[in-house]
Amino acid sequence: MDMNRFKGVFTALVTPFKNNRVDEDAFVRLVERQIAAGVHGLVPVGTTGETSTLSHEEHRRVVKLCVDTARNRVPVIAGAGSNSTAEALDFIRHASDCGADAALVVTPYYNRPSQEGLYQHYASLAAATAMPIFVYNVPSRTSVDISNDTLARLSALPGIAGVKDATGDLARPSIQRKLCGPSWVMLSGDDPSGLGYMAHGGHGCISVTSNVAPGACAAFYEACLAEDYGAARDLQDRLIHLHKALFLDASPAPTKFALARLGLCEDAVRLPISPCDPSAHAAIIAAMEEAGASA
């Protein structure tokens, strides 16, 4: 597969709910809006998609709905992580059967495996499927941090395509460029530090903010990929308050509030996430206006 397809902004899609069920009509509208706005790819059922509170049936349905709606217009990286290696493999195989382009596999949470355990987890997944796998490193949520040295070992395996790095550590892409080689795809998972990540050699971002402002986020990453950092800084200035505002409450509640304000879906979330606190509303609205976010 051409790894150049995995560059730019990939939206970490929310999963809209209505009456505590997946709102499939709203999800299709969200996907179509993203593609029309020029995003470079889509990521269903990741953290922002509330995968932890979806049933397995709902998880599989959302992946299939995303792939079917995208119709190969942009690549789809399907969330497929679990703290059980066998369960993660089941999700990967389903994503592959649906026609997704790659799988996003979070480091196993709660188990707190060693670096060797992490290596064996990903190596066994890569050996069992032909689907490209992205390692999702988000130690703030999983309590485990996969090291650059372990990523270097994994980069030698043909099935491991790259990383989604949500650490905010801007030294990592520079180090990984040296350790993992030119084919290693580096995607940020931290919107506010995306400018620095790209300047260090990153290839794109799996973004929360692009749910709300997909056109501006796509333009930002296109400017970065063209090494037009003057234009990128101007876009960063438009987006930075929105990047921060969407985490004024537990994600994705602020993002769903913003999308509801745009009339795109309800602001419903699933417990233990609660609806966005009203104290954050004014800051989110102001940041949306600054970013030029519209339906």
Q: Active-site residues: which are they? A: 136, 164
Distance CA 52, CA 31 (A): 21
Residue 154: which region, alpha, beta or left (left: phi > 0; alpha: psi -120 to 50)? alpha
User: Is residue 113 a contact partner of residue 17, using CB atoms and an 8 Å limit?
Assistant: no
Strands ordered across the beta sheet of 185-188: 41-43, 8-12, 204-207, 185-188, 160-165, 133-137, 102-106, 77-79
Q: Which amino acid is at 198?
A: M
Comparing CA positions, the residue from 243, 254, 183, 257 lying closest to residue 213 is: 243
Q: Is 136 helix (H, G, I), strand (E, B) or coil?
A: strand
